[in-house]
Amino acid sequence: MIYFLSDAHLGSWAIERGYAHQKKLIDMLEEMSKDAVSIYMLGDMFDFWMEYFVHDKSKREYHPFCKELRKLAKKGIHVHIFTGNHDLWTFGGLASLTGAEIHTDPTTITRYGKTLYLCHGDGVLPLKWKDIYPRRVRKQIEHFIFLKKLFNSPTLQFLFRCLPPAWGNKIGYSWAKRSRLKELANPCPYKGEKKEELVLFAKEQEKMNNHRDYYIFGHRHIELDLKLESGSRVIILGDTFRQWTYAKLDHHGNLTMHNYEPETGTTEGV
Q: What is the pTM of this model?
A: 0.93
**Per-residue model confidence as pLDDT tens digits over 247-270:** 999 999 999 999 998 664 444 444
Per-residue model confidence as pLDDT tens digits over 183-238: 777 778 899 998 999 999 999 999 999 999 999 999 999 999 999 999 999 999 99
**What is residue 267's predicted lDDT score, i.e. its pLDDT?**
45
Q: Where are the domains of the chain?
A: 2-269
Gap between the Cα atoms of 18 and 233, Å rounded:
34
Collapsing DSSP states into helix, strand and coil, what is residue 265? coil
- In degrees, rounded to 5, the angle at the alpha carbon of residue 112 between the alpha carbons of residues 116 and 105 is 25
What confidence score (pLDDT) does residue 265 get?
43
**Which class is 2-269 in CATH?**
alpha beta
β-pairing, 107-111 vs 114-119, is antiparallel
Beta-bridged to residue 234, according to DSSP, are 215, 226
Q: According to the model, what pLDDT value does residue 205 have?
A: 96
Q: How far apart are CA 163 and CA 171, in angstroms?
A: 11
Determine which of 6-10, 128-132, 217-221 has the lowest per-residue pLDDT on average.
128-132
pLDDT tens digits, one per residue of 59-79 = 999 999 999 999 999 999 999
Give mean pLDDT, residues 153-177. Answer: 94
User: Which of helix, strand or coil describes residue 233?
Assistant: strand
Question: Mean pLDDT over residues 84-98, rounded?
Answer: 94
